[in-house]
Every structure is written in structure tokens, then in C-alpha cells.
Structure 1
Amino acid sequence: MDGFKPQKLVKLDGRVGEGGGQLVRIAVSLAALTGTPLRIDHVRGNRGDGKRGGGLKAQHASCVRYLADATAAEVTGCYVGSKSIEFKPTTTLANLVNRNIRIKAESAASILLVFQSMLPFLLFCGDDSGSPITATIQGGTNVRFSLSFEYFDQVLAPALERFGVKIDRKLDSRGWSLGATNVGSATFRFVPLTPGQTLKAPVWPVERGEITEIDITILVPADTIEAFKKALVFRIDQVLPGVGTNYHLVEDSRHRTRIYTLLVAHTSTGLRFGCDWLYDRKATGKTPDDIATEVAEKVVAKLDAEVQKGGLVDEYLQDQLVVFQALAEGSSSIPGNSEALSSEGNQVDRTDEPFGDGSQHTTTARWVTSQLLPHTKWIDKGRICKGAGWKAL
């Protein structure tokens, strides 16, 4: 799609589907990209008044401010806690001046969620000379309810390469939301599409294949590392016997409450399935062996459940790829379970509410992209996406 710019204000309700921060991130990024005026009411309205609360969080406000600056957008409601936001871009993205971006998110807000919000927009900000864009973001790399740097590095970034998007990434320093708040930094560098180019539909395997090996990432206090190694390997051998393991990263987290583990299963067809846990339970009265066993049982069970679903992607990766499928040129199919994988339906999906197979995050992401990229077509409960073929201007 070349130069499509809807003039009608798009209104979204943050109480629809998994209407959390993901809705804000996708919607504002696509509004900036397409020049679409946008209003979101009841921001994160399904979060209630509990600890996760409602309204914009720090990472959402950070990405909205950047996208507003990049498009000279008229914005109202861009502050932490805001329950509604209006975003009206007034310039195109054809001539992005600043290609060395620096963002400091508030506190330990998630670096990866900020970058995810910016990426669909920045991918189409190329120039004729192929100048790279570098984004250095300060905030948290391991944050509750958020993508970790390790998952991005080991699962999401390799998946994006199937779309032709290669991102160099570097962890400058780690930032945690647990323990004493610690602000970290990460740097991302990539070459955006040149004018006239489109994202290519991903070449995705049609079969999952066999699990060939599992990469293990352990970020825990130094004196618990050996307990975690023993517990994870033991549990993997119990649940997935015969599968080899590899310690991809083992690191001292330097705090008793900072406990993070990621398992990445590799398949014979080149797919990756990731499952992780940033430990969020009380550790009082528990030995290192107790906690290691608890973590091992949970992450291995989660990984096994993803494998048993028989799809081609884990549920976290599936929802993060939706926006790229919607923007790409051509058809793509990345089903999350065996039922969708074997389906032969061809009915065009209704897009007036979240739809299709997958988690609520996935169905909501499809709905949001459909509102802002109406030339995208989803077929057979989201199994097939015929992308808009958006072109860099």
C-alpha cells in the first residue's frame, strides 16, 4: 500500500480484548506511520484498580512522546496514569532527521516495550543512501509483565529476520524492576527500508519438526547458580528426554529477589520456542534448591505446553509478529496450534472485534492492525494474513 492516509479519526476502546499496553503501542506506532488521527479511551481499562492499575505506564508515555516528536503530532493525555489519549500526526516520516536516537524511559520502564513501539514506524524511515538508525534506550531490561532483552535477543529478533529485518542489539547494562530499582541501557541498530520498499512476507516453515536442543539462560544470585543448573537440566530430562541442553547465558543477578530464567527450544526446521519467568513469588523461608526446583518445574511445563500445542510459534512470539504480518507484502501464515495449522478454511475474518486463534494479546493485535491498516486481510480465524504491503515513502 503506497501513501494510504485515512483522514477519519480512529477510535479504540482500551477495555476491548487484551486492551492493555499492547493496544497503545501498536495503535500509536501505526497511527504515526500512516498519518492516521487516533483516540484511545479507557487506556488499559481492563486492568482495574489493582497493582497493575489502569492508564498509561511509563514505557507507553515514553514511546508516545518519541513518536509525537518524530511526526510533529498534536497530542493530549500523554502522561503516566492518563486514561485517554489523542494522537494526530501532522508530518510524514519521509525525512527522519535524527538517526541516532536516545530515549530515557522513566524509572525502570521496559526498554524492549519502548523499542517494540518505535520499530514498525522506524522501519519505514529509510533514505536513498541506506543510512542506519541507532536507538539507545535507558530503562529496564528485565521487567515484570514485559519482554526481556534475552527473549528479544534469542527469539524475537531471529524471527524478524524472516521478514528481512536484521537488528543488531547490544546490552549496555542490565536494568531490573525487582530489588532496588536499577536503570539499564540497550542499543539497537538497523537499516530501515529505502523509499519504495516493502517488508517481505516471512518464509516460515510449514512444519514444526523435532526439538533438537534447548538453550538455557539463568540470571540469578551467584550462590544459587549451581542449584538452578541442576534443577533445570533434571526437569528438562524428565519432561523432554533425549533433548540436548546448552547454557546460553549464566549471570549473577546481584540481588536476592532478581531471579530470571529463559528456555529456548530449537527445532529441526529452524524454529524457536521461548518460555521464561521473572520470579515474582515470596522467597522467604525457601532454600536455593526450593526456588530452583519451583522455577524449573514452571518454565519446563510452560515450554512443554507450547510444544504440545503443535503450532509453529510460541504464544508470546505470535502476538508480537502480528503487526509485521499486517504491514508486509504478500501472504503469511504463522499458526500457534495444530488445529490452525491443519485448517483449510478460506473465509475472510470479521474485524470489528478481536478475532482468530491464539492468546488474547494475539487476537487483540489483529483487531488493532485491522482498524489502522484496513487493506490488510485476515483469513480463517487469523491463520492467513494478506498484508497491506506498506511502502516506505
Structure 2
Amino acid sequence: MSVNDMLDKIAMVMSGQTSEHFFTKGTKSAEVNMAPGYDRHGKPSSVTNPASLDGPITIIHIDGRMLEGGGQLVRNVVALSALTGLPITIDNIRGNRQGKTGLKGSHAAAIGFIAGICQGEVVDGHVGSQRMTFYPRKREFYHSHDRSEPNQISPAPQQTKLFNSDVPPIKPEYKIHQHTAGSISLVFQALYPYLVYASSLSSMDTKEPVRVHITGGTNVTFSPSFDYINQVLVPNLRTLGLPKLNVRLHKRGWSTGPKDLGSVTFDVYPLEPLESHWFPILKLHEYRRTEVTWVNITILAPDINIQDREAHGSRHDRRKIKHEKHHTYDSDMYSHWTIREYLEDQCEKSLRKALKGLNNKRPSGDGDESTSEPTIQRHLSEATHHHTHIYILLVAHMSNGLILGTDALFDGYEKRDSRKNRNRDNSDNTIATLDNLVDSCVGRLVEELDGSKRDDGNGNAGYHPVVDVHMRDQLVIFEALGLVNRSVERNESSVGSDVEDQRYWSLHTRTARWVCEQILGQDIWNA
């Protein structure tokens, strides 16, 4: 066993888990951080360089079952705790999730990494934990100030400032290694707010980015893919005023099929010098939906012939349609097509038909309606190497410079008793599955472009959020951080039109806003 393997093994044992570990790497040597909150003997540990905070400190208690009650709540709470220096306790972690609750491996990896770079400490931050406490600085400093009762949500502070003194220096390079296909994008989502802020305060006299290498899954269910991060999130953040962020794919990792981990490198540039190193004000209220100028298609799929046995899944999948005799598809016409070729063809046809029906009626920015059809481009078509590794991404570029994205990831073959999949043979079952992926992806993009939620008749309807529903919840934390100790001038005469229509907000967006209120202050949105 090599030295690195031995260190990895120690880190896994100390964390009480065998699926995740993290380590950081400096310019000269690599160092392995033991499980946050524990020393090498498995006992509670302390850290050095405590933060010096003014005034009494209370541990803020958060109920992990609130609203969406999933992993997003945990990630945002820990990120804001590190940024403000306020310790937090989360009870009932992922309490609204069906099946297994508590921390997942990707959550534990992200929390451990943040604790390492801010020299904080985590109590019960292991996989499966239902309750955890995160100390962004030395634990002993907070104990004498904690007067909140257990299992009680402490009142949110009236006003919270971002921590800007005694911030531990940021290293030029970090590595986070997951032993499972835990979502790389969700790990990064948790650490980015602190890392982009702390790097701007760091003692490093350079404008070079902080490099973060993460191993895990790039195409994982219920999480943004690498392609969505690269094509939608990164350019949108830049357009809205956040600093440059580069992402590079080294290898894909999938949550379906054989275990094969991927890896991505993020180059995180620090915040540009502003007053007190504040986050920029996003000013989302100044943006409106404009016409779509072009749509990019990304297809990831295997070059397996549709009629090959391998294309029809496992023996269990094939048994579902073994005795079906009547066809609703003429599969012979696709006998020489691969799965990737079929998706390329059907996705473009379906998208073109849908956009023509919608007529792309989006405001052009000057009050006129645009009826021009956007250009459709095949941005990326990449061969994968397993019949379950199938993914579609549609990216709509608007004339205002912002981007909308919808995607679909393979999650199983059509069931025999499904409404659209009766009386089909093997190849028909494959085609039905592919058609379902295309229809769901195109349908969600059309829904984004259509904006079917109209004025309720009372004149109170606001405007359609300028980004897609998934991007919107990821912007909430940056929107709130830009408002800390600031005020935004608005036109008081435009009460309804200058407010987003909350009917477009997802439960994730509402949860993110609630979390920001608990830590940054109840009046944060009134800044």
C-alpha cells in the first residue's frame, strides 16, 4: 500500500465511513484532514486560529424538514455559516426525503471540505447523520455563548455581516475525492460561495484562481450535470456580475451502469475588489425574458444499434416486453440507427416542431413580439460506452445574454404497464424510452419559454424570472449575499411589474430564500 493510499484509508476510518474522504493540496506538499470534528483517536478535536466575533453568539438551529427539506438546505446552511462565522445545528437532516434520510456521501464530503478550509469543526458530520453541528471557527469559542435550547429554531439575527477578519489563508489548490458517483456539481455548489469570498480576502498576493479538483459523478440523477454547469450556470453567473469561473471535464462519471468515477477541475477566481469585499448585487429585477436567438443541443449516448440486445437493457428489462406481439412503432425503419443517431434526429425534429408551434413569442425588449424562429445547433454529440449512459441538454440563448437550460437523464426503460408503452417488442421498448427522454426535455424547454402563468385578474402578477427554474434556486444565495448591508434602489411606482411572479418559484427556491432569512436576517429581501 502506498503512502497516499494509507492516508486515504486513515481519513476514511476516522470519518466513520468508507465511501467518502477529502484532502487538500498546497504548493509543496499534500495534507490530509481528518474527519471534521474528530482527531486521529476518534475523539472531539479543536482547531487553531479562532475567529474573533463581536457580541454574543448563538447557535442557530435549523429544522432540516422545512419546505423542500433535502440536501440543498444543508449545503446552503453550511455555506452561509462559514461566510458569517455563525455556528449552526441542523436537525432532521433530509427529513422530507423518501427512503434513506440523513447526510449523503456528497454532503459529508462538501461539509468536511468547507470545515477544512475555514478551519472549522463538524460534530456528527458522518454519512447517515440525522443531526449535525457546524462550527465555522474554534468550537470552544462558541460554547460559552450558546444559550439556545436543543431542538429549537433560534430567532434569525436582525442583521448579519459577512466575516472579514482572521479568515484562514486559502491554498492555491485543493482536491476532493469521492469513492462513489456523488454529484460533483452539488459538492461544488456548497463550497463555491465561501471559496470565492475567502479567496478575495486571502493573503495570497495574486489574482490567480484557486484550483479545485473533484472526483465523483458528472451525470447524476437530481443534480446539475457538468454540461449544465459549463453551458448554463457558469456563463449566467458571469453575466450577472460574479467573477470568472472555469470548468474542465477530465472524465465523465455516471450514477447508472458500471461504477466509473469522473473528475472535473474548477478554476475559482476571487471576487473583484468592492467595498468591504462585498458580493455584487445581482439586480435580477432589472432583467426580463427576451427572445431566444439560438438553441444548442447536447447528446450523450452510446453508438449501439437500436436492435442490438445490449440496447434493450438487462434480462429483466427485456422480460417486460418479451410476450408483446403488436407494434405501435415501425422499428424496421431504424434498424441501422444507433441510439445516438436516433436521439440526434428526434431531438432536432421535436425541438423544431415545438418551437414552431410556440412561434417563439417572447418579448423582444422594446415591447414588440418576436415571431422569428431561433437557430437550432448541435453543440455536442458524444459517444458513451454503456446503454444506460444517455443524456440530453437543451440550451436556449436569449438576446439579453442570459441562458435557459433543460435536460433529461436516462433513469430506466419504459415499464410494460406505462401509458405509452404497450404492445411493443425489444426495439420498440428502446425507442419508447428514447422518445420519452426527448419529449420530457423539449417539453420542459417549451414550458420555460411559454410562461403559461398569467395575470391572476387582480393586476398583481409579476414578471417571469429571467433564468430557468433550476438556475433560479441556485442564484438565491448569491442574490442574498449581494444584499447584505446594502440597499437596492427600485422604482416604487412599479409595484407589481418590478416583482418576480412567485408562482414560478420552485420549492427549492423557496427553501433557499428561507435559509437565507434564518442566517442573514429576516429582512434580507427588504434591503
Match of 1:248 in 2: 379
Contact 1:6–1:34, Cα closer than 8 Å, also in 2: no
Q: Is the 8 A contact 2:242 2:271 kept in 1?
A: no
Residue in 2 that maps onto 1:186: 264
Structure 1 residues 97 and 298, CA gap change in structure 2 (3 angstroms): closer
Distance (whole Å) between structure 2 residues aligned to residue 39 and residue 286 of structure 1: 52
2:265 aligned with 1:209, yes or no?
A: no
1:83-162 matches, cutoff 5 A: 83-90=130-137, 94-125=167-198, 126=200, 127=202, 128-161=205-238, 162=240
Match of 2:497 in 1: 343
- Aligned residue among 238, 247, 256 for 1:169: 247
- Counterparts in 2 of 1:219 and 1:170: CA distance versus 1, 3 Å: same
For residues 301-342 of structure 1, the C-alpha deviation after alignment (integer angstroms, 9 at most, x for no partner) is 011111122431111000000000111155679xxxxxx995
Larger Rg: 2
Whether the 8 Å CA contact 2:95–2:101 is kept in 1: the answer is: yes
Structure 2: gaps (5+ residues): 1-52, 139-164, 304-337, 357-372, 416-425, 452-463
With over 3 angstroms needed to count, the CA separation of the structure-2 counterparts of 1:4 and 1:325, relative to structure 1, is farther
**Alignment match, 1:279:** 410
Matches for 1:214-229 after TM superposition, within 5 Å: 214-222=295-303, 223-229=338-344
1:22 aligns with 2:72: yes
Deviates more, 1:208-217 or 1:362-371: 208-217
Matched, 1:11 2:84: no
Contact 2:395 2:403 in 1 (8 A): yes
For 1:25 and 1:122, how far apart are their aligned partners in 2? 14
Q: Give the ranges of 4+ consecutive aligned residues of structure 1 lying more than 6 Å apart after TM superposition.
A: 3-6
Determine which of 299, 307, 315 is the counterpart of 2:469.
315
Q: In 2 relative to 1, CA 147–376 (structure 1 residues): closer, same or farther, beyond 3 Å?
A: farther
Match of 1:336 in 2: none
The aligned counterpart of 2:447 is 305
Q: 2:512 aligned to 362, 365, 369, which one?
A: 365
State the AA in 1 paired with 2:193: P
Offset, 1:345: 6.3
Provide the C-alpha distance between the structure 1 equivalents of 2:217 and 2:519, rounded to a whole number of angstroms. 29
Letter aligned with residue 122 of structure 1: L
The normalised TM-score by structure 2 is 0.64
Q: Secondary structure at the match of 2:290?
A: coil
Larger deviation: 27-36 or 66-75?
A: 66-75
Deviation at 1:251, TM superposition (A): 0.7
Instruction: Determine if contact 2:246/2:268 at 8 Å carries over to the other structure.
Output: yes
> Contact 2:408–2:441 at 8 Å: present in 1 too?
yes
Q: Which residue of 2 aligns with 1:351?
A: none
Could you tell me how far apart the structure 1 residues matched to 2:301 and 2:251 are? 16
2:388 and 2:412 in contact (8 A); partners too: no
Q: 1:281: how far off? A: 2.5
Return the letter of the residue paired with 2:440: K
Whether 1:260 and 2:391 are equivalent positions in the alignment is: yes
- Paired residue for 2:82? 32
How far apart in 1 are the matches of 2:391 and 2:263?
18
User: Are the structure 2 counterparts of residues 224 and 63 from structure 1 closer, same or farther at C-alpha, using a change threshold of 3 Å?
Assistant: same
- CA drift at 1:344: 4.7
RMSD (Å), alpha carbons: 2.5
The alpha-carbon deviation at position 370 of structure 1 amounts to 1.3
Tell me if structure 1 keeps the 8 A contact 2:469–2:504: no
> How far 1:98 sits from its partner (Å)?
2.2
Q: Give the whole-Å Cα distance in 2 for the aligned partners of 1:173 and 1:316.
A: 24
| Alpha-carbon spacing, 1:229–1:331, altered in 2? closer, same or farther (3 Å) | farther
* Alpha-carbon shift at residue 278 of structure 1 (Å): 0.9
Counterpart contact for 2:409–2:437, Cα < 8 Å: no
Q: 1:298 to 1:65 in 2, by over 3 A?
A: same
Once the two structures are aligned, what percentage of the paired residues are identical?
A: 37
Q: Is the 8 A contact 1:70 1:93 kept in 2?
A: no
Distance 1:341 1:281, change over 3 A: farther
Distance in 1, matches of 2:295 and 2:404, equals 9
- Matched-pair contact (CA < 8 Å) for 1:4–1:34: no
The aligned residue for residue 382 of structure 1 is none
Distance in 1 (alpha carbons) for counterparts of 2:66 and 2:522 = 22
Partner of 1:350: none
What displacement does 1:165 show?
Answer: 1.9
**Deviation for aligned residue 1:5:** 8.2
TM-score if structure 1 supplies the norm length?
A: 0.85
CA–CA distance in 1 between the matches of 2:245 and 2:292?
Answer: 26
d(CA) in 2 for partners of 1:61, 1:141: 18
Deviations 1:144-164 (A, max 9, x none): 111111111111111111223
Q: Is contact 1:6–1:36 with CA below 8 Å preserved after alignment?
A: no
Partner amino acid for 1:239? A
Pair 1:332–1:312, CA change in 2 (3 A)? farther
Segments of structure 1 that go 5 or more residues without pairing to the other structure are 334-339, 347-354, 380-385, 387-393
Is 1:294 paired with 2:371? no
Residue 374 (1) aligns with residue 521 (2): yes
1:378 and 1:56 mapped to 2: Cα distance?
Answer: 29
Q: Distance in 2 between matches of 1:286 and 1:341?
A: 56
Whether the aligned pair in 2 keeps the contact of 1:14 and 1:44 (CA below 8 Å) is: yes
Aligned residues, how many? 361
Rate the CA distance shift 1:282–1:46 in 2: closer, same or farther, 3 A. same
Deviation of 1:197 after TM superposition, in Å, equals: 1.9
